[in-house]
């Protein structure tokens, strides 16, 4: 009879360890909240990076537009000077 009690106790101990190792609903909720927080933080970092890149591209686009206008102006000035000085410009 003592042997059966010992087997029962062994099984009961194993079952207790399995139950202790199982994830509870509260554990899953806590994990979900931590993951949501991490995802939100990462999303905000990505959005901030995208905003920075968008600003940089817009700044470069404005700068390029100014350079194009300036180059056209220089080209026109060179043509005017070429005509007045009768110097032929290479094409």
DSSP at 1: -
| Residue 73: both structure tokens together | 């102006």
pTM confidence score:
0.55
Measure the CA angle with vertex 43, ends 39 and 44; round to 5°: 120
pLDDT recorded at residue 38: 96
Asked if the structure places residue 49 within a domain, the reply is yes
Work out whether the CA dihedral 76, 81, 83, 86 comes out positive or negative: negative
Asked if the structure places residue 16 within a domain, the reply is no
pLDDT recorded at residue 15: 86
Asked if the structure places residue 58 within a domain, the reply is yes
Q: How confident is the model at residue 84 (pLDDT cuts 50, 70, 90)?
A: very high
* pLDDT tens string 20-65: 888 888 888 999 999 999 999 999 999 999 999 999 999 999 999 9
Asked if the structure places residue 14 within a domain, the reply is no
Domain count, the chain: 1
CA distance linking residue 29 with residue 35, whole number of Å: 10
pLDDT recorded at residue 2: 47
* Domain encompassing residue 81: 27-91
Asked if the structure places residue 18 within a domain, the reply is no
Residue pair 59/67 in contact by the 8 Å Cβ criterion: no
Asked if the structure places residue 9 within a domain, the reply is no
């Amino acid at each position: 009879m003592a042997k059966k009690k010992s087997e029962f106790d062994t099984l009961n101990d194993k079952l207790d360890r399995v139950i202790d190792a199982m994830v509870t609903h509260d554990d899953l909720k806590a994990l979900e909240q931590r993951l949501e927080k991490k995802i939100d933080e990462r999303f905000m970092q990505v959005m901030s990076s995208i905003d920075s890149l968008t600003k940089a591209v817009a700044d470069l686009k404005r700068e390029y537009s100014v350079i194009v206008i300036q180059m056209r102006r220089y080209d026109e000035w060179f043509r005017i000077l070429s005509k007045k000085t009768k110097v032929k410009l290479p094409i």
